[in-house]
Amino acid sequence: MSGSTRLWLLFPVLPLAIACGDPAPPPAEATAIVNVGASPGGGSCTVGAGVSKFGTPPTTTDPGVTLVSGHDGVRINCKVSDAGDGTAQFSGSIETSTASLSIGGTLTPGATGTASLSIYDSATSTIDLHDPACTVNVDQGMLSVEPGAIWASFRCSNLKNPTTIGLLCGANGVFLFKNCAE
């Protein structure tokens, strides 16, 4: 019997043991549409107006087509977890070569919540805009939140850029993050 045959007889399950680890989790996925325009509270939104799309945009009844983290230079980070008191905590970011979206906050499943939103899109001339008090909803259509995933609509009325005095924009849209950390 050759030396290599004896090794296979001594360690027949070694190749199986090496291959039996937990599979890597699927990469995070996301899609969103952000419509930036005049704020319902008035003000001037001359530089920030436009529509930013990440993937094929979702609606409240259609999840759209997601971008996948690690593909085509896209980076997606997200976490959606149960806060333990009947609310969900979430955070998500999408970064492409020309745009970025970041949103995070808390909400009650089947109801509304609040979130901080930041958007930048060089393709639509949207400068860095931030609103710390957007309203987030999962109370219409097929929207939902669960550990590891969120599909929600949002509305912001106080998007500002700290370096542009007098700029005040509003925004609304829909976002979906899935395969997120819990």
- 55 pLDDT band, cuts 50/70/90, is very high
Give the torsion sign (CA, 121, 30, 32, 78): negative
pLDDT digits (tens, 9 = 90+) for 115-170: 999 999 888 766 789 999 999 999 888 999 999 999 999 999 999 988 888 888 99
Please tell me the predicted confidence (pLDDT) of residue 2. 52
| CA end-to-end distance (rounded Å), the chain | 52
Looking at residue 136, its pLDDT comes to: 97
Return the domain boundaries, the chain. Answer: 26-178
pLDDT of residue 85: 87
- Model pLDDT, residue 5: 47
Other Cβ atoms less than 10 A from the Cβ of 51: the count is 16
Supply the pLDDT for residue 87.
92
pLDDT given at position 8:
41
Q: Percent of the chain at pLDDT above 70?
A: 86
CA 87 to chain centroid, in Å, comes to 18
pTM, entire model = 0.85
Task: Write out the two tokens for 168.
Answer: 């005040």
State the CB neighbour count (10 A cutoff) for residue 176: 23
pLDDT for 48: 61
The dihedral built from the CA positions of residue 53, 55, 57 and 60, taken in this order, carries a sign that is negative
Which range, of 15-24, 78-87, 162-171, averages the lowest pLDDT? 15-24
pLDDT tens for residues 58-76?
999 999 999 999 999 999 9
